[in-house]
C-alpha cells in the first residue's frame, strides 16, 4: 500500500540510493522535479540570449571563440535537462508550450539587459558562480538523471566561471575606462545574482519538501551565503567595490553578512515585469516559429525512413 511504498522510498533516499526513472515515487516528488528541472532547462535556453547578443561584438577573436563555446554549452545544458525532465513522463512539447505561453518560470537573472562587454565577464563570474554553487548541491540530489546531468554541467560551468573571472580582473587592472566598465557591470549584476538563488528560506514554500526528499541538500540562504563568502572577498581583492553598504565580514561566524535584498524587485521580475521579460519571451517565440520548417522536415524524414523500412 501507499504508506509502505512511501516508507521504502524514503528509506532508499536515507541510504543515499538514487531514485531512477522506472522506480516508484510519490506524485509530489515527480511534480516537484518536473517543475524544477523544466524551469532549469528553460533558464539555460533563455540564458543564451543576454550573452548571444554580444557574439558579433566581442573585442577579439579569442574572446569571441570563448563566448560562442559558452553559449553553445548552454544550449547543450538545456537539451540535457529537457531529457532529464522527459524521464518523469512530461513531453518536450508540453514544456516548450509552457515556456512560450508565459506559464512556466525561468531564472529571474536572464531578464536583465547586457549593456556593455563587461557584462559578459560579469555573467561568467557572478551568474555562473551562483549557478555552480546551486548545482554542486544539486549534483548530490536523490533523482539519478538530474544528479548526473549536474555533474557534467558543473564541469562546463567551471570553465565559464574562470573565463568570466579572468576577464573582469583583467579589466579591473586595465585602463581607467576599462575599470569603470567592470565596476559598473558588478554594480548592476551583484544584487540580481544574490536574488537568483531564490527567496529567503522563510519565504520558500518548496524548500521543506525538497530537503525532505533529498532534492535540495542545502537551503536557498545557505547556498547564497556560500556564494557571497567566495565572491565578495575576490571582487574586493580585484580592486572593485560591491554595491552593498551593509556588507561586512563577521569574525564570529566567518561569514560575509549582506544588507537587505530588494525582494519587491525580485518578485516583479519573477512575475513577468522585469526589464527584459517581454523581449526574452518574444525572442524565444520568434525562434520557435522560425524553426517550424526544421521540425516539419525532421518529421517528414522520419516518416519516409519508416516507410522504406517497412517496404
Q: Closer CB to ligand FAQ, residue 47 or residue 121?
A: 47
User: Site size for ligand FAQ, by CB under 6 A?
Assistant: 28
Can you tell me the distance from the alpha carbon of 58 to that of 227, in angstroms, rounded to the nearest whole number?
Answer: 28
Q: E strand or H helix at 248, and its extent? A: strand 248-250
Can you tell me the distance from the alpha carbon of 159 to that of 165, in angstroms, rounded to the nearest whole number?
Answer: 10
Q: Closer CB to ligand FAQ, residue 13 or residue 274?
A: 274
Stretch that binds ligand FAQ, among 122-130, 228-236, 247-255, 301-309 (CB under 6 A): 122-130
Stretch that binds ligand FAQ, among 17-25, 40-48, 88-96, 281-289 (CB under 6 A): 40-48
Site for ligand FAQ in 141-160 (CB under 6 A): none
Asked if residue 259 lies in contact with residue 194, where contact means CB atoms within 8 angstroms, the answer is: no
Least spacing, CB of residue 108 vs ligand FAQ, in Å: 4
Site for ligand FAQ contains 229 (CB under 6 A) = no
206 phi and psi angles, rounded to 5 deg: -85, -20
Site for ligand FAQ in 188-227 (CB under 6 A): 196-199, 204-207, 210, 220
Per-residue contact track with ligand FAQ, 70 to 89, x per CB under 6 A?
A: ----x---------------
Pairing mode, strands 255-257 and 248-250: antiparallel
Can you tell me the distance from the alpha carbon of 177 to that of 208, in angstroms, rounded to the nearest whole number?
Answer: 47
Which stretches within the chain are classed as H helix? Answer: 2-14, 27-46, 48-52, 61-86, 92-100, 118-122, 128-138, 144-172, 176-195, 207-212, 220-237, 263-268, 277-290, 292-310
Instruction: Give the one residue of 19, 34, 36, 238 binding ligand FAQ; rule: CB under 6 A.
Output: 36
Site for ligand FAQ contains 99 (CB under 6 A) = no
Q: Which residues bind ligand FAQ (CB under 6 A)?
A: 35-36, 39-40, 43-44, 47, 74, 105, 107-108, 123, 127-128, 131, 134, 138, 196-199, 204-207, 210, 220, 270
Amino acid at each position: 500500500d501507499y504508506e509502505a511504498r512511501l516508507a521504502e522510498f524514503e528509506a532508499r533516499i536515507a541510504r543515499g540510493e538514487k531514485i531512477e526513472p522506472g522506480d516508484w515515487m510519490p506524485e509530489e516528488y515527480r511534480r516537484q522535479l518536473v517543475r524544477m528541472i523544466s524551469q532549469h532547462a528553460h533558464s539555460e535556453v533563455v540564458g543564451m540570449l543576454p550573452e548571444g547578443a554580444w557574439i558579433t561584438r566581442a573585442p577579439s577573436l579569442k574572446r569571441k571563440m570563448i563566448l560562442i563555446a559558452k553559449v553553445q554549452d548552454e544550449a547543450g545544458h538545456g537539451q540535457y535537462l529537457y531529457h532529464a525532465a522527459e524521464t518523469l513522463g512530461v513531453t518536450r512539447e508540453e514544456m516548450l508550450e509552457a515556456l512560450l505561453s508565459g506559464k512556466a518560470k525561468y531564472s529571474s537573472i536572464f531578464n536583465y539587459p547586457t549593456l556593455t562587454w563587461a557584462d559578459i565577464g560579469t555573467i561568467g563570474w557572478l551568474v555562473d558562480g551562483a549557478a555552480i554553487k546551486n548545482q554542486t548541491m544539486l549534483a548530490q540530489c536523490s533523482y539519478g538523471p538530474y544528479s548526473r546531468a549536474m555533474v557534467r554541467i558543473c564541469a562546463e560551468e567551471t570553465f565559464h566561471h574562470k573565463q568570466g573571472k579572468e576577464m573582469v580582473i583583467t579589466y579591473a587592472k586595465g585602463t581607467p575606462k576599462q575599470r569603470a566598465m567592470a565596476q559598473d557591470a558588478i554594480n548592476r549584476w551583484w544584487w540580481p545574482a544574490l536574488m537568483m538563488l531564490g527567496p529567503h528560506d522563510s519565504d520558500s514554500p518548496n524548500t521543506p519538501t525538497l530537503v525532505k526528499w533529498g532534492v535540495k541538500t542545502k537551503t536557498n540562504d545557505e547556498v547564497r551565503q556560500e556564494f557571497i563568502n567566495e565572491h565578495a572577498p575576490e571582487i574586493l581583492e580585484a580592486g572593485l567595490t560591491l554595491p552593498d553598504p551593509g556588507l561586512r565580514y563577521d569574525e564570529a561566524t566567518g561569514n560575509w553578512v549582506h544588507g537587505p535584498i530588494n525582494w519587491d524587485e525580485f518578485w516583479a521580475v519573477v512575475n513577468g515585469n522585469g526589464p527584459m521579460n517581454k523581449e526574452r519571451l518574444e525572442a524565444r517565440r520568434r525562434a520557435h516559429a522560425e524553426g517550424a520548417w526544421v521540425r516539419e522536415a525532421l518529421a517528414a524524414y522520419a516518416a519516409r525512413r519508416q516507410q522504406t523500412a517497412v517496404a
